[in-house]
Structure 1
Amino acid sequence: MKPVELRAAGSSADRATRGTTDRGLALLAAVVITTLLAACQSPVRLMPTPVSFRTGEIDPFKTAGPKSHSTDVPVVYVTNRGAIVETPEPIHTILPSERLRMGVAHVRIGDDTLDWETLHRLSTSDDRDERPIVKLDWLEPLVSLGPTDTVVNSPGAQAFFALVNKALAATDNNELVIYVHGSNNTMPRAAAQAAQLRHFTGRRIVVLAFVWPSAGSLLRYFTDVGNAKASVKPFARLVELLAEHTDASAIDVLAYSAGAQVVSPALALLGTSPRPGETRQQLRERLRLKHIYFAAADIDTRQFINELSKYVDIVTGVSNAANLNDSALRVAAIVHRASRIGRPDPTELDPEQSGFLLEASRSLGFDLIKVDPNAIPKLPPNSHAFWYEDPWVSSDLLGLLLLNAEPQRRGLTAQDAPQGTRYWAFPPDFDDRVMKLFSPALVPAPAQAPSESGAPAATSDQGRRAVPDSRM
């Protein structure tokens, strides 16, 4: 928001006054951001159980198999952080690099005293016990791929993608989810959040953490902004590598907060960089991008809308979950002097952008999801971390990723904004609605009668095609 000018420009005194004011505002903004988001510095704890799993009637882990019944939740990772040491235990910097470093992040929920039975109980009930800490134990690097290196000529890259494919083969739908963290982040924190996501999908989806070089400090927010920009091309390259070298039936992306500053422009880059002679449909089929979910996205509203127009036709759908009371994004809007799409101000859009937003929300697969603290029980009014801190919102996200359900099937209700844009809201009975969605999908069917050969008839759970790698 631009301050109102009350003085005539020109004099040195005026310039000095404005300089002092700007520095004061910047300092105030830094203090406010630190106060609002200080919780981000705390350890990652197991997120509240999604409301769809809280009664125990629906167990997402039923089909995971006994090898997944562990407090260890490894996830694959790719980072464009620079590195001082590559192996055996990498030491990363906060400097962006053109290299893609790939491997396995070994994450554990709780300490040595936590067993699977306790973790399972905590993950399928509304248990009030303190949530265990989710922490990165160690990184297992597999390859460092330079900007001109090819997978064909890199045994390490081939091993990495073979590992991903083996993990995909053990899932129900062969889909891969990329998690892109926000600012004020570290490698351990990003890996832990990615592991949480994998855990609450019932260990049934392969999750890859893209760890861009956040400085890990709220006071270095603008360093993160610059590093996010430097991570756009590496992320776009990663998507193309995954599309080319994995068997993923689809690639989903969850971008949280400033992760949107990486994902949105990268998707726009992919949307405007087809191969020679490639049609839009062929580009869509090659990349296999499915659900793109932005949670509390910290990116300029106008920039986001412009970029959305460049890729919305090559993905299955785009969701934007926004809390209009988000304190962190309120401060970000002041700092950037522009609203963020996670807390948008539609009046900033020009007529062309407004027209596109209207069309996108009604016919192009762009779902605006209103995360309203007045409608969602116990949601903190100023919540920025709602995708993992709120059981209703996390259930809605899992309904999308696990069941590929459109908003209405997930229990949301359609609403119209004054300018005609459609958005989706959480109704008072959302918890009952989402339970009905998950029940037939995840509650195991009764055992079938033996076949004529005497063996039980095959079920979808018995039809798994491969045993997952022990690291995944």
Structure 2
Amino acid sequence: MVLAFLPVLCAAFVSSCGVGVQPLMPTPVLYTESGHKPLDHLPPGERWKERRVYYVTNRSRQGGAQRISYGNGISPDLSVGTSLIGFGGPDMTWAHLNRVSAESERDDVVELSIAGIAEFGRIPANSTVSQAAGPEAAAFWLKELNESIDSSRDKDLLIYVHGAKVNFYNSCAFAAQLDHFLGRDMTSLAFAWPTHQNILSYVSGADVHRAYESAEALADLLELLGSRTDARRIHILSWSAGARVATRGIALLRERHPNESAASLRRRFRIGTAYFAAGDVPSHEFVAAAPAIDSLVERIIVTQTDHDSALESSSRIMRGGMRIGQQGNDLNEDEIAVLRSLKHLEVVDMSEGTEKRGFDIVGHRYWFDHPWASTDVLLSIGTDLSPRERGLVPGGLPMQWDLPPDYPERLRRLPPPTSFRRWNR
């Protein structure tokens, strides 16, 4: 039975978690409707095309000192460093990049590239916070990270956790694009866990196992960042299989400190938004971890759509039932009661209201490729606005929110996005 479905699943994932060169994502409707460009506010000294992304990876390192790369092997240690992501080719000017970053239709494809990688050091697995902060374990990286946070207009930190079937480059490129459309005001960090570049490794369970193993590393990272950085808040955006890493990683963080109050842990770890975009984590599994996650974060956002072929195939062929990124659920009454009891959960249903607005928001990359969906990602991470203030309307459940037909008009009422964090309540 599994073999019969493999072609279907492979076809579903071909267009979802690609490993090729990434083009600049479509411009979020936030900018096309407002007439503002995401980079207009940057001073002359910051107007260069490349963008630095910090990274943490438990991928095994390849290459020598002159050419650093990371392969598909899993390492017991965490490598930390920075990658420099280039936007466009050598002929692209800053003015051109700023212009196309606000266009709904582009004549040019802006490709992203890694212009350089600098590994600063390695942190041993299961090391204590004091060990990880020592001179032998990437202390200089922490110093650089803090300097970036302190010098940024927005003192928050964004961690991007990728999905299956991607490589190290992909994780850094996606983090850079999100950072780019957040106005380059925030420090971004790519958490690159070692998935393979083929879907069979995920379907077989090999990369699922790696996702849960990498959750330990993510929890280690959150411990380190909470104790050794100046970040005002730490946001976590996970996509697809990355939701398994984030779900287990955040819950594990709570489990490690059973005798400490949730209020104390929230002050220590300062986790802001935990955003699960098109999450490929079984709903039953997510619900089991949700109370622990809810106790640590300021808000949990789960996006759903009624037609995500990758999640449909995953839930049909692999174990666990429906995924949190699918519209609808297969939860029992007790599990639904758990969700209703959460204080910080927001479920954004991208498909509700399709008939009135005249189109659906579907696929596995909709949160990234659709200008309406990507706008809510930016507003959820870059501001403290409530769902209603972000332009959403209440849905059929207490925690559900929908995108209304007049969503672009609602966005026009927001202040100019010259600095996201100025929109705080």
Q: AA paired with 1:58?
A: H
Q: Deviation digits for residues 308-338 of structure 1, max 9, x if unmatched?
A: 1112022100000111211110001111241
Identify the residue that residue 454 of structure 1 maps to in structure 2: none
Aligned to 2:418: 442
CA-CA distance at 1:289 after TM superposition: 0.5
| 1:380 to partner: Cα distance | 6.5
- Alignment-mate amino acid for residue 138 of structure 2: A
How far the C-alpha of 1:126 sits from its partner, in A, is 2.3
1:402 aligns with 382
- CA deviations 1:169-223 (Å, max 9, x no partner) are 1222310000001101101111111110111111101110000001022232233
- Whether 1:169 aligns to 2:150 is yes
* Correspondence list, 1:225-236, <5 A: 225-236=208-219
- Output the amino acid matched with 2:412: M
Distance 2:374 2:356 in 1: 12
Counterparts of 2:358 and 2:327, CA distance in 1: 23
**Given the alignment of the two structures, is residue 372 of structure 1 paired with residue 354 of structure 2, yes or no?**
no
Pick one of 381, 403, 406 that aligns with 1:429: 406
Indicate conservation of the 8 Å contact 1:323/1:342, yes or no.
yes
Q: Which moved more, 1:382-391 or 1:121-130?
A: 121-130
Contact 1:396 / 1:410 at 8 angstroms: preserved in 2?
yes
What does residue 274 of structure 1 align with?
257
CA contact 1:80–1:98 (8 Å) conserved in 2: yes
Structure 2: 5+ residue stretches without partners:
none
Tell me the equivalent position of 2:46.
68
Matched, 1:32 2:11: yes
Separation in structure 2 between the aligned mates of residue 394 and residue 406 of structure 1, nearest angstrom: 16
Query: For each residue in 1:93-141, what CA deviation from the matched residue of structure 2 results, as whole angstroms up to 9, or x when unmatched?
Result: 2122221101011110111011100000011232431331112222111
Structure 2 residue identity aligned to 1:164 = L
Residue identity in the other structure for 1:90: I
Match of 1:9 in 2: none
Confirm or deny: 8 A CA contact 2:238 2:275 kept in the other structure.
Answer: yes
Residue type of the alignment partner of 1:134: L
Match of 1:385 in 2: 365
The alpha-carbon distance between structure 1 residues 76 and 219, as it changes in their structure 2 partners (threshold 3 A), is: same
Hey, what's the Cα distance between the residues in 2 that align with 1:443 and 1:167? Answer: 17
Cα pair 1:379 1:390 within 8 Å, conserved: no
Q: Which residue of 1 aligns with 2:160?
A: 179
Q: 2:237 aligns with which of 239, 243, 254?
A: 254
Q: Partner amino acid for 2:399? A: R
Aligned to 2:65: 87
Structure 2 counterpart of 1:457: none
1:381–1:319 Cα change, 3 Å: closer
Question: What is the DSSP-based 3-state SS (H/G/I as helix, E as strand, rest coil) of the residue aligned with 1:437?
Answer: coil
Question: How far apart are 1:377 and its partner, in Å?
Answer: 6.8
Q: Is the 8 A contact 1:321 1:370 kept in 2?
A: yes
CA contact (8 A) 2:183 2:418 kept: no
1:191 is matched with which residue? 172
Q: Which residue of 1 aligns with 2:314?
A: 332
Could you tell me which amino acid in structure 1 is paired with residue 284 of structure 2?
R
- Taking the aligned partners of 1:239 and 1:165, their CA distance within structure 2 comes to 15
Give the Cα–Cα distance (whole angstroms) in 1 for the partners of residues 235 and 13 of structure 2.
31
Instruction: Answer whether contact 2:59 2:75 (CA < 8 A) is retained.
Output: yes
Q: Larger deviation: 287-296 or 162-171?
A: 162-171
Q: CA 1:110 to 1:314, structure 2 compared with 1: closer, same or farther past 3 Å?
A: same
Aligned to 1:99: 77
Q: Which amino acid in 2 is paired with 1:225?
A: V
Aligned to 2:296: 314
Q: Percent of counterpart pairs with the same letter?
A: 27
Q: Does 1:412 align with 2:392?
A: yes
Distance 1:391 1:23, change over 3 A: closer
Aligned equivalent of 2:28: 50
Match of 2:182 in 1: 201
Deviation at 1:43, TM superposition (A): 2.3
CA–CA distance in structure 1, aligned partners of residues 355 and 188 of structure 2? 30
Q: Say whether the 8 Å CA contact 2:165–2:195 is kept in structure 1.
A: yes
- Conserved in 2, the CA contact under 8 Å of 1:142 and 1:157? yes
Q: Give aligned pairs, total.
A: 414
TM-score by length of 1: 0.82
**For the pair shown, which has the larger CA radius of gyration, 1 or 2?**
1
The TM-score with structure 2 as length reference comes to: 0.91
Q: Cα–Cα, structure 1 residues 407 and 105, in superposed 2: closer, same or farther, change >3 Å?
A: same
Q: Take 2:287 and 2:253, find their aligned partners in 1: how far apart are those partners?
A: 16
Structure 1 contact 180–209 (Cα < 8 Å) conserved:
yes
Deviations 1:387-407 (A, max 9, x none): 211111111111122222111
Matches within 5 A, 1:117-136: 117-136=95-114
Distance change (3 Å), C-alpha of 1:132 and 1:436 = same
**Cross-structure match for 2:135:** 154
Q: What are structure 1's unaligned runs of at least 5 residues?
A: 1-20, 445-459, 461-472
SS at match of 2:241: helix
1:365 positional shift? 1.3
Alpha-carbon offset, residue 381 of structure 1: 5.3
Match of 2:200 in 1: 219
SS at match of 1:126: coil
Residues 315 and 323, structure 2, Cα contact 8 Å, conserved in 1: yes
Q: In structure 1, how many angstroms separate the alpha carbons of the residues matched to 2:199 and 2:366?
A: 19
